[in-house]
Amino acid sequence: MWLGPEEVLLAGALWVTERANPFFLLQRRRGHGKGGGLTGLLVGTLDVVLDSSARVAPYRILHQTQDSQVYWAVACGSSRKEITKHWEWLENNLLQTLSIFDNEEDITTFVKGKIHGIIAEENKNEQPQSEEDPGKFKEAELKMRKQFGMPEVEKLVNYYSCSYWKGRVPRQGWLYLTVNHLCFYSFLLGKEVTLVIQWVDVTQLEKNATLLFPECIKVSTRDSELYFSMFLNINETFKLMEQLANIAMRQLLDNESFLQDKSLPKPRKPLKNISALKRDLDARAKNECYRATFRLPKDECLDGHTDCTLWTPFNKMHIPGQMFVSNNYICFASKAEEACHLIIPLREVTIVEKADSSSVLPSPLSISTKSKMTFFFANLKDRDFLVQRISDFLQRTPSKKPCSSDREWKWNLADPGCEEVPELPSSSPLAVSPMSALSNRPVSFCAGEVPTASQGLLKLFRRNSEELLGPKGAKEKMKEESWNIHFFEYGRGMCMYRTAKTRELVQKGIPENLRGELWLLFSGAWNEMVTHPDYYADLVEKSMGKYNLATEEIERDLHRSMPEHPAFQNELGIAALRRVLTAYAFRNPTIGYCQAMNIVTSVLLLYCNEEEAFWLLVALCERMLPDYYNTRVVGALVDQGIFEELTREYLPQLSEKMQDLGVISTISLSWFLTLFLSVMPFESAVVIVDCFFYEGIKFILQVSLAILDANMEKLLQCCDEGEAMTILGRYLDNVVNRQSVSPPIPHLHALLTSGDDPPLEIDIFELIKTSYEKFSNLKADDIEQMRFKQRLKVIQSLEDTAKKSVVRAVSSDIGFSIEELEELYVVFKAKYLMSCYWGNNRAAAARRDQSLPYLEQYRIDMEQFKELFISLTPWSCGAHTPVLAGRLFRLLDENRDSLINFKEFVTGMSGMYHGDLTEKLKVLYKLHLPPALNPEETESALEATSYFTEDVTTEETQEDKGRRDENGPEKEEKGTSPQDYRYYLRMWAKEKESKKETIKDLPKMSQEQFIELCKTLYNMFSEDPVEQELYHAIATVASLLLRIGEVGKKFSNRPMRKSEDCKANNTQDPVSEEESPTSEQSQNSAVEQQPQADHEDKTCGDAQPEKTQQENQTLGDGSGEGQGSPLQLLSDDETKDDMSMSSYSMVSTGSLQCEDIADDTVLVGCEGSSSAARYGSTIDTDWSISFEQILASMLTETALVNYFEKKVNILQKIKDQKKVERQFSSSSDYELSSVSG
């Protein structure tokens, strides 16, 4: 490539001049190419350690003038061919011109200008988006691609200098982190190490320091552990590795998330030597942290943050902290943890103004809201810029205008006239609290349903209780008064100051009247609800009356959701629960519905109206408990792993015992998934939910630790899991809330008592207090870090489980061993995943459905199958291999969806690797019959395809049809409900039986198909060590079979009506010279284009189904054999000499090497084959041969028998395939003994 001229002082250092003229030098890097000796080793090592560009471009051209000592690099190249092209251009275009100049400075100026002009011309065609990355980084990306053979779509994120420990020896080199791979390259004194690891294969990432290694990063896969150390900034490197591994885990868990991660936003300001991708990933990490800290919606993006102070009126102080500004919110977090958090939605802001600076308050800024609260920030570094950014966001923020009804707002996001923030008159009614905003709006959906009230069900179904008048009622009033005082001092609604005082009040229990409001505020659900008006109502309307698997499961669980509570003992509560769960299932089909969601949602409905409960459920499932409620409850398993880790840290004595008993995995899922609602009395569990909405998962973990700690002595004496479960169950059953004003709801768990002793009651508030005293030092950031570590472990464990279940499912039918199947599964899955991130279109990702069985989740298309087939098949056919792969794919793709699953894939592979000669020949025979040979003609080729389906259709019609008729009405009632499992079991049984086909079931082969078979065999033998013997053998067999076919035709007494019809059609519609191809090129192109061909291209159309397959196939494959030129019957002597040669010449000259048959070629065995007969006629349609005849003929040739019975090790093939995929194809490879990592 041409370079912008750079000054070079020492032209001879480490370079060898190969060509020279008065103005230019062509140089090669020492040590590159042949030889090099010790100097070459040292130079190669230096290039790698110093990351010199000479490692990728070992050739260069320098410009020089006679008297100057300064050289100018004008071009570099990775290969001699590339650099020679530049050299020749300079000689042809510049040398003559330069010789005219007298002044050397003019020569140099002219050359530099010319080179700059060439570069500008080349860059004109490049897309400007590639200029995001700085030049140094692009060079590194180029090195990475050349070194590891990565395609252009594989983006480099960053690269670091480090050491890889191979044994006890550190190898200094470069670590390249790409979106999908971790790569390392080192070259030290002739020892080369190359590593390529996919992020999806990483099972563990750890940063640690040991005696053996200095501070290092350990990367674990299923097969190996790799250690990297000596980083300049190990924390930055490790953080980036975590992010990339996390993206890969999201890809394994849910492809959609992976695809979203790929669509990264454009950077605002390019920074030096950092890729756009790295900046975007950093921004993504900050966004996630920002959203988690302030419980903001998932699409909120942080714009920036700055240090400042906030005036807090409740304690008359200026608290130092940071202000965060995003599209829709201004947030503040104090430096001292829990001193103060503040969230100001821009939709609430009325005025933003700069106050006068003073020595006491430099650069103050005041922000006023609709609820008459004013916030003072000071010590802002760049106040003017900040105010401008906030003003920009305010102009884009939709405004909400107050309406006339008392304490109620109508939110309108679509009003174009609401761009400015209106200043409200003092008399305007104010939305003080979230609950007041919607409390007067009746919510009623679908006239046919029972209407649901606009408030929590608890208010509707509260029985007249004496508790409200007694001491408990007084206590509840005191709680409410405490909160009212708090609201007065700290504000109410989203803009409330959240401090340690707020947390103390939450720990004491939220009053029932305020519970719904505060849950909405603390969870952030209120923000999403007010910014999506009518979203829930629209969703309910769309989802009503529709049925799928999720709605069936919801119906099944509706009456199991708190059946002991009066609110859910009637249709009002049940209908509300049904609507909320169904609406969420339609909002998020990837989750749909999961057990435990019904229990949590029923509790939300007790304190909130339907719409509020819906948005609380959204906050729970999508933000606060991520991945908890998907099909594999991954999130709950991740937090279970964290719980085990925390138990080891805080309760080491108990941890070992619990591990032995296997209790943690049993208890924690039910505790976490239902937030203790299913294991504790309702009045107590709801207090846990209060704290959870304020603190998040951290609180659930610390309460769980407190429960184990309280029962430690008893648990240490347990003998088995059942006893431990009984102890914990009894303890949780007796956690009581003595302050609850609601009448006690009978707990479904039977009270477990031992003997006559009354159970010991535990006060819920005492339990919460203990949990804070003992385990409050848990940090949300630490938990997120632990979540990442556990997510790797859990998802990889689930993937291993999936692999085992798939292998177990297919192993009984396949000849491969378990080990071979596992290796094939790894290769198959890798090929699928590669299509997700390297494929041009993302259809591969879209076709993975997590709800399907493991066997069906990964499926590959024809192109991917061809790549695998070429690298794994024992039947390599050179250029003909992709054609054979396409035929096998069509044969395996029984449901015609152009995708095959793992079972179909290994079935095809097993046919080539296992079984005797007969089985292998049977596979090869099928590959030359429809549907493998000619997929578009399956309609007309009924005879050839009937053996695939006749067993299933005949056996099923009688018995199953009758049974299906019985189930018919039921099916109609259910609409699109899943089919009866027994039906699938019967179908599976039939499928198993139908595979027991004998060789007599195979249809006969036409002459044209037979010629295709011969062509395949010829190509298959072309690279074999004994190819001449095999050629002779197949020529003998082919000639014999051709004669057998001719003889068989004469003895055939069957009426040939189909054939006569075809002949008649030929007479009516003579095939023109162009339409009947004879050359092999046209044969091949026709065969390859058949899958895309339209049905309109059929010669006879749908109106003539009687046409034989042979005539239609003539369009796909031509040959010199015509109807008017039958083969001659020869004597035995002629057979030995002429006929064996004729077959050989027909097979080879018949362009099996893809050469055209010349016009003057006459195939031996054909009578007077004129050009008219050759072009205008078709293959002999009466000629046919059976599989038994082919098998019998093959058995006469020892060479053929040996070839097909030869054992091939597929594990070696898989190993070679992995090497090929990871091979780096660089033309500047050092030709030295290499050690591959």
Residue 209 has pLDDT above 80, yes or no: no
Tokens found for residue 383? 């106040």
Least confident of 232-236, 442-446, 662-666: 442-446
User: How do residues 911-924 score in pLDDT, each as one tens digit?
Assistant: 888 878 888 898 99
| Mean pLDDT value across residues 246-275 | 62
The pLDDT tens digits for 1058-1087 are: 444 444 444 444 433 333 333 344 334 333
What pLDDT does 1156 receive?
Answer: 36
Average pLDDT of the segment spanning 641-656:
91
Q: Is 777 exposed, middle or buried (0-12, 13-18, 19+ CB in 10 A)?
A: exposed
What is each CA distance from 345 to 377, 493, 1204, 1214, in whole angstroms?
Answer: 16, 11, 74, 57
Q: pLDDT over 90 for what percent of the chain?
A: 26
Beta-bridge mates of residue 506: none
The model's confidence at residue 107, banded by pLDDT at 50, 70 and 90, is confident
Q: Which residue has the higher pLDDT, 836 or 440?
A: 836
Neighbours of 7 (CB within 10 A): 8
Which pairing describes strands 859-860 and 900-901: parallel, antiparallel, or unpaired? antiparallel
Q: How many CB atoms lie within 10 A of CB 877?
A: 21
How many whole angstroms separate alpha carbon 162 and alpha carbon 175? 7
Residue 686 has pLDDT above 80, yes or no: yes
Residue 767 pLDDT: 95
Q: Which pLDDT belongs to residue 402?
A: 39
What's the pLDDT tens digit per position in 865-924? 988 998 888 888 888 888 899 999 999 988 888 888 888 899 889 888 887 888 889 899
Residue 523 pLDDT: 95
Predicted pLDDT of residue 396? 87
> Is pLDDT of 703 > 60?
yes
End-to-end CA distance of the chain: 31
Whether the per-residue pLDDT at 1112 is higher than 60: the answer is: no
% of the chain residues with pLDDT over 70: 69
CA distances to 19, 111, 423 from 93, in Å: 17, 11, 73
Per-residue pLDDT at 28: 79
CA distances from 681 to 90, 600, 738, 745 (A): 87, 14, 12, 8
pLDDT of residue 1155 exceeding 60, the answer is: no
Contact 194, 1237 (CB under 8 A): yes
Q: How confident is the model at residue 454 (pLDDT cuts 50, 70, 90)?
A: low
Task: Say if residues 1225 and 833 touch (Cβ distance below 8 Å).
Answer: no
Residues 6+ apart with CB under 8 A from 1064: none
Q: Identify the pLDDT of residue 1037.
A: 93
* Mean pLDDT comparison of 502-516, 932-946, 1153-1167, highest-scoring range: 502-516
735-736 vs 762-763, strand pairing mode = parallel
In this prediction, residue 847 carries a pLDDT of 53
pLDDT for the residue numbered 644 = 92
Tokens for 1048?
């068989």
pLDDT score of 150: 85
The tokens describing 1218, both together, are 């992995």
Secondary structure class of 72 (helix, strand, coil): strand
Whole-number pLDDT of residue 307:
93
Quote the DSSP letter at residue 1151: I
Max mean pLDDT range (7-21, 1049-1063, 1115-1129):
7-21
User: What 8-state DSSP symbol labels residue 560?
Assistant: G
SS (H, E, C) 838-850: HCCCCHHHHCCCC
- pLDDT exceeds 80 at position 650: yes
- Predicted pLDDT of residue 758: 66
- Say if residue 360 is exposed, middle or buried (CB neighbours under 10 Å; 0-12, 13-18, 19+): exposed
- 3-state SS string over 924-962? HHHCCCCCCCCHHHCCCCHHHHHHHHHHHHHHHHHHHHH
Is the model's pLDDT at 841 over the cut of 80? no
Residue 613 or residue 1211, greater confidence: 613
Tokens of 699: 């609180």
- Whether residue 969 is preceded by a cis peptide bond, meaning omega within 30 degrees of 0, is no
Instruction: List pLDDT tens digits, range 964-984.
Output: 444 443 333 333 344 456 676
Give the per-residue pLDDT at 672.
Answer: 92
1236 φ, ψ (degrees, to nearest 5)? -85, 135
Strand boundaries in 1107-1226, DSSP class E: 1184-1185
pTM of the model: 0.73
More confident residue, 217 or 1177: 217
| 1110, containing H or E segment | helix 1109-1116
Integer CA distances (angstroms), 685 to 472, 603, 672, 839, 1221, in order: 18, 10, 12, 49, 55
Name the average pLDDT for the chain: 75
Query: Of 359, 364, 357, which Cα lies nearest the Cα of 378?
Result: 364
d(CA 232, CA 863): 43
Rounded to whole angstroms, the Cα distance separating 433 from 483 reads: 13
* pLDDT exceeds 80 at position 1219: no
pLDDT of residue 487: 94
Task: Say yes or no to pLDDT of 321 above 50.
Answer: yes
3-state secondary structure (DSSP) of residue 3: strand
DSSP state of 55: G
pLDDT of 531 reads 92
DSSP assignments along 199-256, one per residue:
GGGEEEEEEE--SSSSSEEEEEESS-EEEEE--SSHHHHHHHHHHHHHHHHHHHH-HH
Q: What is the pLDDT of residues 537-581, one digit of tens each?
A: 999 999 888 888 889 999 999 888 888 888 888 888 999 999 999
Task: Please give the average per-residue pLDDT across 61-70, as a whole number.
Answer: 78
- The confidence score (pLDDT) of residue 1085 equals 39
Report how many helices (DSSP H) and strands (DSSP E) the chain contains, helices first.
49, 25
Separation CA 202–CA 199 (nearest Å): 5
- Residues 1171-1192 have pLDDT tens digits of 333 333 445 677 888 999 999 9
Amino acid at 348: E
* Choice between 210 and 588, residue whose per-residue pLDDT is larger: 588
pLDDT band at 367 (very low <50, low <70, confident <90, very high): very high
pLDDT, residue 266, reads 53
Give the model's pLDDT for residue 843: 53
Does the pLDDT value for residue 325 go beyond 60? Answer: yes
In angstroms, rounded to a whole number, what is the distance separating the alpha carbons of residues 277 and 264?
A: 7
Long-range contacts of 1058-1067 (CB under 8 A, 24+ apart): 1058/1106, 1058/1107, 1058/1108, 1059/1108, 1059/1181, 1059/1182, 1061/1104, 1061/1106, 1061/1107, 1062/1107, 1062/1108, 1062/1110, 1062/1111, 1062/1181, 1063/1123, 1063/1181, 1065/1099, 1065/1100, 1065/1104, 1065/1107, 1065/1111, 1066/1111, 1066/1178
pLDDT in tens, 804-816: 989 988 887 788 8
- Segment 438-460 shows an average pLDDT of 54
The residues, any chain, with a CB within 8 Å of residue 479's CB and separated by 6 or more, are: 508, 509, 510, 511
pLDDT band with cut points at 50, 70 and 90 for residue 1233? very low
Of 677, 707, 477, residue with least CA distance to 688: 677
Q: Which residues pair with 330 in a beta bridge?
A: 325, 344
Which pLDDT belongs to residue 1207? 85
pLDDT of residue 24: 85
Q: What is the pLDDT at residue 980?
A: 58
The pLDDT of residue 709: 94
**pLDDT, position 1221:** 55
**Tens of pLDDT, residues 998-1024:** 777 788 888 888 888 998 898 888 878
In this structure, of 254-258, 343-347, 632-636, the range with the lowest mean pLDDT score is 254-258
Least confident interval from 453-462, 553-562, 780-789: 453-462
**C-alpha dihedral (423, 428, 429, 433), degrees to nearest 10:** 20
